[in-house]
Structure 1
Amino acid sequence: MSGSVRSGHIPPHSRRESTDSYASSVGSNRALRPPKIEMAATSPLSKIGIKGDGLMLFITCFASIGVFLFGYDQGVMSGIITGPHFRAYFREPTSYEIGTMVAILEIGALCTSLACGTLADIFGRKKVLFWGAILFSIGGAIQTFTTGFTSMVIGRVIAGFGVGTLSMIVPTYQSEISPAENRGMLACIEFTGNIAGYAASVWIDYFCSYINSDLSWRLPLSIQVLIGLTLAFGSLLLPESPRWLLDHDQDEEGMRVLADLHGGGNPREPRARLEYREIKENVLTLRKEPDRSYTAMFRRYRCRTWIACSSQMFAQLNGINVISYYAPLVFESAGWLGRDALLMTGINGIIYILSTVPTWFLVDTWGRRPILLSGSVLMAISLALCGYFLYLDAPFTAKAVVGCVIVFNAAFGFSWGPIPWLLPSEIMPLAFRAKGASLSTATNWAFNFIIGEGTPILQEKIKWRLYPMHAFFCTCSFILVFFMYPETMGVPLEEMDQLFGDEPSAVPQGDDSDDEDDEEAARPVRPIRTSISSHPRFMNPEERAARAAAARVAAEDRARAESAGLFGIKRLIGRLLGANASEPDRRLYQSGFGPSSIPLEDITSSNAARHRKKDGTKKGGKRKGKTPSGIETSRPTTDLPTNDIPAETDYADEETQFKLGDSDDDEGEGSGAKGQTGPGVNGRDDSDEDDLEWESGRR
């Protein structure tokens, strides 16, 4: 796909040469070894048996309450401002007063979304989540018992403080606990909570409109308090982010959380231990970066920062809050009056929720880019038609506008609703993740305020022309995504540097000056992940050229498979069969096209071309060969380095299982690999020999 950053599957033989070079480059760094703990059970949930996938699902659903509050507060005012009792209590507020009461929430959210990036790095994700819910509850209480315009504005600002905090911290927290293969789906489930909050507020407004007193608008506002307190006290049950714990050297606690999330509570589970090593390596690498300020983030990660902010900017400029905040006014302008306008808004909200469900399954199979591009097209068309029908002012205008609004909301809920909340938290490195999410969220609230404040005025001044204006912004967002946004589907958080062409600092060396007689310290540390070992930082020019050539061939293989129509079929087979498949089907699933088999280290053809240009190498001749997927292709004659493979490394075929010894518990015990000699063979420990027995394409 033109303009995208695409990842191809690197054949196993192209990875082998990097194992020795990486092991020698990191030496005996003991800081990467998981701590020895007996039991996990770090949170109240794990103590009662909620672990593994169950714990992950519980965290996702419960954290979604945070974005539910965000959606509820956005939608609740849309039905209240048209109610007769509300308008009478506030003495027929002007369009300026209505705009201020609605949009002032964004000012409070803007302030805290900027500040909470630093606070989340200092105090942790869990504590910031708790205090965000408390602030929201206080603001909701003030709105409920308001005595006039001023107190309503104060309550909205304080609620905005809570909303800004939650809208920043919840996506960050979610991304840091989610596995790469399901990160997109879990984030989209979370966003569905946002739309459910919006739809719930609309229906509550509709049913409360039958109350013939001020309770018709005070009751919907009071529900904010109940939901906020539920989130606040429920957050005390959640575990802290393991990445934040490891970044603050709380290694044992971090290992316990990882064991609960990925090991079913077993701290010896290979996947949990491997996850620990990857995160800890990334933490130690990022500590080479002395400056963690916003300025440093702009300077070093300019492209990622622009993507994070622009995605949220266009999520607002594309016109969603013209509908979310003022849907009843939009329907009234089309001819639906009173409760009928609220009813149409409620029906629209239900369709809005349903539109977010397909993204759960497509975001980790189809990818982020295609979803955003298709959403931009549908939104632009529906907004342009909405303006056209309002311009005609024909008898069918009312029904036509409802249809256009429903299509627009469905397109937004499918695309530009969830993805901009997912991208910032997954593309930024750990050292800047909270700050990147903070800045992107602040961008969202800044444009949220502009749209919320300006929409009532523009609806009076330019009328139907407002909708083609937002259709133009949808077109601009299509162009931006097409040429600038990379595809991040299936990419582990710790490996985003390679996708964007950023080279991390070398992995810090361990200080083993006091361990000269320690047999464990004398053994080389296993490679943490072949993607790091094959990074250009650890390669000579010849190795980099070979790596780039392999990446180019893999990209060609992937393009051939796509053109043959096999891409979606193989993904479907992988999802349906997975580990229980027969051998041929499993080999098909692991040949580079499964949803969890595209690691980030498989850099794209564009990156490969850049490395070739940088190294001054040229493409060699070609010979015929076959890819792991069985598709005949041409391979460059440049031979890959044939370094000796460590004695402890047992490479299977393209499924590539790693069995690298590293005793963490029984130092000096074990017999080593049968019939093999070499460094690190003696002292193998059965508890750790499976730490890297994971397919290299598991993500």
Structure 2
Amino acid sequence: MAAGNTEDYADGQLAVAATAKKIWWKDPQLRRLNFCLFSLILLSSSNGFDGSLVNGLQSLDSWMSFMQTPDGTWLGFINGMYSVGALVSLTLGGWGCNMFGRRPCIYIGITILTIGGILGAVAPNDTVFIVSRVIIGLGTGWVSTAGPLLLSEIAYPEFRSVTSALFMVGYYVGAVISSWVTFATRDYTSSWSWRLPTLLQILCPLVAVPGMLITPESPRWLIGKERIEDARKVLADLHAGGDQTSPLVNLEVEEIHGAIVAEKEASASASYLDMLKTPGNRHRLMITISLGVFSQWSGNGVVSYYLSMVLDTVGITETRDQLLISGCLQIWNLGFAAVGASLIERVGRRPLFMTSASVMLVSYIIITGLSGSFAESGAGPTGIAVIPFLFIYFAGYDIALTPLLTAYPCEIWPFALRSRGLSVAWLSAIFALIFNTFVNPIALAAIAWKYYFVFVAVLLCYGITAFFFYPETKGYSLEHVAFVFDGDQAAVAPVGEKAVIQAEREGTDAQVEHV
């Protein structure tokens, strides 16, 4: 840190602490910022809405008849087409976010989602409905890439990690709406029993539009395009009540600009190949891919898309009962995902990952045992006993794999590779999801509860991987997480500033030499 800037750093931290003590609804600056952040969180709702929607539609006779009673491969194909659309747009999303900015990509996604939702609601036949699912997937890919990036890059420094984790909590906002709307329309005698829930998939993204209109472009993207004064104004408006001379704003601009310049000096390009060039990047890539895979291969895909089939295997076959359990499960998920997001900075990432793996593994073993016992005995109480352990399992999933799926990749990758890193996380999750949606219904139909043994093994791998390879990033800013992966080779800041950060993390009163 250059002479004189250590004081700015300290003043900036005091400014953060002072603002953190403010009550957000009494402060116009924080009200506006939180409204923008809430709007961005709603963008993940379309993803959760879809997972719950298709599961609920399988309990509706009108939709099953309209789709020619799908099961096995055909049901997997219907579910999988959403993932195919998302796969295409995620590939474009990382490039688009770097080239055009985060906001334009979000608008592209919302527009495509709206078209897909309307088309699905008015579909005259099953072919058009499947096409609508491809289109919805295309829109989801754009907002799922740009949304968490913009969220993490405009959040107030003190609350950045929690704010980033809340993005995927919006997933369950969509899931809750979907499950209860489907429950409410289950007795409709017309096709609107499934058309109305399908149409409402566009509700949350459209509700987010007013907030998006006042949400600025990412200051990090602006600085990356050499628009430093524009970025300064954005940071001042969001974090300092419009005061562009604020020590906090000066600190943020200096940190972001210094990190981006250092990254450009370290690498002339910012391509996907750069993810393999250094040990730190290879470590990041392993985490990113494995996190995406575990988010879909931990057994949640079976329950998310095929809960009705799971409940059938334990004797719960009534439409009302299945939809009621689904609706209550989504509310449960929303609550625990919010709890997990709120604990990220208090307890750290690693404790959440390890707790998640332990709870999921134990509960899934019990679910497997109870399901096998019911298959042999047919005893109703045994089948019903599966339900509470499904809820416990999802509590374990929600506290880590939901909030950290996007938040962890967003913070571990440097700016130049952040959008591509998030795209890789989503791509790995989508590839795993495509496998799930095609294989799960076939496996469940063929071997029923015995299929659960596969996920017991995956959950064991998840716990081992998290323990040995997922480092703690608690307490670091976006620019300084690089120290965890790259050590002294981190393309971030001069030695003096590294010492400041280290002293702050250790809670010492170490004197920092000006350089």
Asked if Structure 1 and Structure 2 have the same fold, meaning a TM-score greater than 0.5 normalized by the shorter chain, the answer is: yes
Query: Are residues 1:365 and 2:346 paired?
Result: yes
1:311 alignment partner in structure 2:
291
Query: Are residues 1:489 and 2:466 paired?
Result: no
Deviations 1:128-155 (CA, angstroms, capped at 9, x unpaired):
0111111111111111111222211111
Of 415, 419, 423, which residue of structure 2 is paired with 1:434? 419
Q: Which one has the bigger helix percentage? A: 2
Residue 356 of structure 1, CA deviation: 1.8
User: What is the rounded CA distance, in whole Å, between the counterparts of 1:355 and 1:225 in structure 2?
Assistant: 25
Of 126, 140, 148, which residue of structure 2 is paired with 1:163? 140
| Residue type at the aligned position of 2:352 | I
User: What is the rounded CA distance, in whole Å, between the counterparts of 1:230 and 1:79 in structure 2?
Assistant: 23
Asked if 2 retains the 8 angstrom alpha-carbon contact of 1:104 and 1:157, the reply is: yes
Residue 95 of structure 1, CA deviation: 2.4
User: What is the rounded CA distance, in whole Å, between the counterparts of 1:350 and 1:141 in structure 2?
Assistant: 26
2:90 alignment partner in structure 1:
113
1:72 alignment partner in structure 2:
49
2:463 alignment partner in structure 1:
478
1:291 alignment partner in structure 2:
269
Asked if 2 retains the 8 angstrom alpha-carbon contact of 1:181 and 1:490, the reply is: no
Query: Are residues 1:236 and 2:213 paired?
Result: yes
Of 348, 351, 360, which residue of structure 1 is paired with 2:332? 351
Asked if 2 retains the 8 angstrom alpha-carbon contact of 1:178 and 1:186, the reply is: yes
1:416 alignment partner in structure 2:
401
User: What is the rounded CA distance, in whole Å, between the counterparts of 2:206 and 2:332 in structure 1?
Assistant: 29
Query: Are residues 1:452 and 2:437 paired?
Result: yes
User: What is the rounded CA distance, in whole Å, between the counterparts of 2:213 and 2:495 in structure 1?
Assistant: 34
SS in 1 for 2:180: helix
Asked if 1 retains the 8 angstrom alpha-carbon contact of 2:113 and 2:202, the reply is: yes
Q: Which ranges of structure 1 fall in alignment gaps of 5 or more residues? A: 1-18, 27-48, 508-526, 536-550, 552-591, 603-626, 629-653, 661-678, 680-699
User: What is the rounded CA distance, in whole Å, between the counterparts of 1:284 and 1:304 in structure 2?
Assistant: 21
User: What is the rounded CA distance, in whole Å, between the counterparts of 1:324 and 1:506 in structure 2?
Assistant: 41
Deviations 1:292-332 (CA, angstroms, capped at 9, x unpaired):
11112222311111111211111111111211111122122
Query: Are residues 1:257 and 2:240 paired?
Result: no
Deviations 1:480-527 (CA, angstroms, capped at 9, x unpaired):
0111111011111111222112555878xxxxxxxxxxxxxxxxxxx9
SS in 1 for 2:472: coil
Asked if 2 retains the 8 angstrom alpha-carbon contact of 1:282 and 1:494, the reply is: yes
Asked if 2 retains the 8 angstrom alpha-carbon contact of 1:51 and 1:261, the reply is: no
1:322 alignment partner in structure 2:
302
Aligned residues: CA RMSD: 2.5
Query: Are residues 1:192 and 2:169 paired?
Result: yes
Asked if 1 retains the 8 angstrom alpha-carbon contact of 2:36 and 2:214, the reply is: no
Residue 213 of structure 1, CA deviation: 1.1
Asked if 2 retains the 8 angstrom alpha-carbon contact of 1:69 and 1:224, the reply is: yes
Deviations 1:325-383 (CA, angstroms, capped at 9, x unpaired):
11122122211122111111111111111112322331101000110111111111111
Residue 160 of structure 1, CA deviation: 0.2
In 2 relative to 1, CA 506–161 (structure 1 residues): closer, same or farther, beyond 3 Å? closer
Residue 262 of structure 1, CA deviation: 1.9
Deviations 1:506-551 (CA, angstroms, capped at 9, x unpaired):
78xxxxxxxxxxxxxxxxxxx988334789xxxxxxxxxxxxxxx8
User: What is the rounded CA distance, in whole Å, between the counterparts of 1:402 and 1:506 in structure 2?
Assistant: 50
In 2 relative to 1, CA 201–506 (structure 1 residues): closer, same or farther, beyond 3 Å? closer
Query: Are residues 1:92 and 2:69 paired?
Result: yes
1:384 alignment partner in structure 2:
365
Residue 255 of structure 1, CA deviation: 0.4
User: What is the rounded CA distance, in whole Å, between the counterparts of 1:151 and 1:23 in structure 2?
Assistant: 65
2:14 alignment partner in structure 1:
none
Query: Are residues 1:375 and 2:356 paired?
Result: yes
User: What is the rounded CA distance, in whole Å, between the counterparts of 2:484 and 2:477 in structure 1?
Assistant: 10
1:609 alignment partner in structure 2:
none
User: What is the rounded CA distance, in whole Å, between the counterparts of 1:233 and 1:157 in structure 2?
Assistant: 26
In 2 relative to 1, CA 410–297 (structure 1 residues): closer, same or farther, beyond 3 Å? same
Deviations 1:622-658 (CA, angstroms, capped at 9, x unpaired):
xxxxx95xxxxxxxxxxxxxxxxxxxxxxxxx28799
In 2 relative to 1, CA 428–461 (structure 1 residues): closer, same or farther, beyond 3 Å? same
Query: Are residues 1:398 and 2:383 paired?
Result: yes
| Residue type at the aligned position of 1:484 | F
Deviates more, 1:317-326 or 1:181-190: 181-190
Residue 60 of structure 1, CA deviation: 1.9
Residue 450 of structure 1, CA deviation: 1.0
Asked if 2 retains the 8 angstrom alpha-carbon contact of 1:497 and 1:503, the reply is: no
SS in 1 for 2:44: helix
User: What is the rounded CA distance, in whole Å, between the counterparts of 1:23 and 1:297 in structure 2?
Assistant: 34
User: What is the rounded CA distance, in whole Å, between the counterparts of 1:529 and 1:343 in structure 2?
Assistant: 58
SS in 2 for 1:365: helix
Q: Which ranges of structure 2 fall in alignment gaps of 5 or more residues? A: 6-25
Asked if 2 retains the 8 angstrom alpha-carbon contact of 1:181 and 1:364, the reply is: no
In 2 relative to 1, CA 505–387 (structure 1 residues): closer, same or farther, beyond 3 Å? closer
Of 182, 185, 196, which residue of structure 2 is paired with 1:219? 196
User: What is the rounded CA distance, in whole Å, between the counterparts of 2:440 and 2:510 in structure 1?
Assistant: 56
After TM superposition, the structure 1 = structure 2 runs for residues 512-661 of structure 1, keeping only pairs within 5 Å, are 530-532=496-498, 597-598=504-505, 628=508, 654=509
In 2 relative to 1, CA 263–192 (structure 1 residues): closer, same or farther, beyond 3 Å? same
User: What is the rounded CA distance, in whole Å, between the counterparts of 1:374 and 1:158 in structure 2?
Assistant: 37
Residue 276 of structure 1, CA deviation: 0.6
SS in 1 for 2:269: coil
In 2 relative to 1, CA 178–145 (structure 1 residues): closer, same or farther, beyond 3 Å? same
Residue 50 of structure 1, CA deviation: 7.7
User: What is the rounded CA distance, in whole Å, between the counterparts of 2:398 and 2:245 in structure 1?
Assistant: 41
| Residue correspondences, number | 487
Residue 274 of structure 1, CA deviation: 0.8
User: What is the rounded CA distance, in whole Å, between the counterparts of 1:196 and 1:226 in structure 2?
Assistant: 11
Q: TM-score, normalised by structure 1?
A: 0.66
SS in 2 for 1:494: coil
Asked if 2 retains the 8 angstrom alpha-carbon contact of 1:274 and 1:528, the reply is: no
Asked if 1 retains the 8 angstrom alpha-carbon contact of 2:115 and 2:135, the reply is: yes
Rg comparison, structure with higher value: 1
Asked if 1 retains the 8 angstrom alpha-carbon contact of 2:373 and 2:382, the reply is: yes
In 2 relative to 1, CA 352–244 (structure 1 residues): closer, same or farther, beyond 3 Å? same
| Residue type at the aligned position of 1:378 | V
Asked if 2 retains the 8 angstrom alpha-carbon contact of 1:184 and 1:363, the reply is: yes
Residue 404 of structure 1, CA deviation: 1.3
Query: Are residues 1:140 and 2:125 paired?
Result: no
| Residue type at the aligned position of 1:352 | N
Residue 426 of structure 1, CA deviation: 0.5
In 2 relative to 1, CA 332–154 (structure 1 residues): closer, same or farther, beyond 3 Å? same
User: What is the rounded CA distance, in whole Å, between the counterparts of 2:157 and 2:214 in structure 1?
Assistant: 24
User: What is the rounded CA distance, in whole Å, between the counterparts of 2:178 and 2:500 in structure 1?
Assistant: 51
2:17 alignment partner in structure 1:
none
Asked if 2 retains the 8 angstrom alpha-carbon contact of 1:108 and 1:159, the reply is: yes
In 2 relative to 1, CA 506–364 (structure 1 residues): closer, same or farther, beyond 3 Å? closer
Asked if 2 retains the 8 angstrom alpha-carbon contact of 1:278 and 1:528, the reply is: no
| Residue type at the aligned position of 1:530 | G
Asked if 2 retains the 8 angstrom alpha-carbon contact of 1:51 and 1:265, the reply is: no
User: What is the rounded CA distance, in whole Å, between the counterparts of 1:232 and 1:306 in structure 2?
Assistant: 35
| Residue type at the aligned position of 2:426 | T
Of 447, 450, 454, which residue of structure 2 is paired with 1:469? 454
1:334 alignment partner in structure 2:
314
